Amino acid sequence: MANLDIKIREAELADLELIVDFISKKSDFDGSKIFLAATADKLQPTLFCQPPLVRVLLAEVAGKAVGFAFFYSSYSSLLAQPCLWLDDLFVQAPMRGMGVGTALLKYLAQIAEFTNCGRVEWTVNTGNAPGIAFYEKQGARILENIRVCRIDGSAIAQLANK
């Protein structure tokens, strides 16, 4: 691992186009480009409202953003505590394995600790072996007995109007 000076900061309105670019790159990485609907116009009212619905961390090396993490608050009724949901974590290919992802997760863990969160959770594609290995190295447990359930698009309207 390189000895980089990695700075983590919260995104600002001026970073909006950069965030859109990172989301696009993440969708390429995930093979989900056909589902990409994020635009600056759609993101701005959710990222920069008060309070924000979602927060974005940017990882910078030598003043250049090289990775990001999208997260928001959730809650566990079992723990009776707030939690954090990590929606996206992405590091540009040339910077992977150099501590950037670890720095983003560490910063997120510090936020979770400061806000008394009971856990930080996220999903990882079962085919992303390097990602799974990275998360396990950070102390994450990969839960085999939990499955993501999703209702989206027209299925939301269908269920809402049954």
Instruction: Specify whether 135 is catalytic.
Output: yes
Q: CA triplet 69, 43, 131: central angle to 5 degrees?
A: 25
The closest alpha carbon to 89, from 26, 42, 133, belongs to 26
> What is the Rg, in whole angstroms, of the alpha carbon atoms belonging to the chain?
16
Rounded Cα distance between 144 and 136, Å, is: 13
Please check whether residue 7 is in contact with residue 64, taking contact to mean a CB–CB distance below 8 angstroms. no
The closest alpha carbon to 107, from 120, 92, 95, belongs to 120
DSSP annotation of 125 reads -
Catalogue the active-site residues.
135
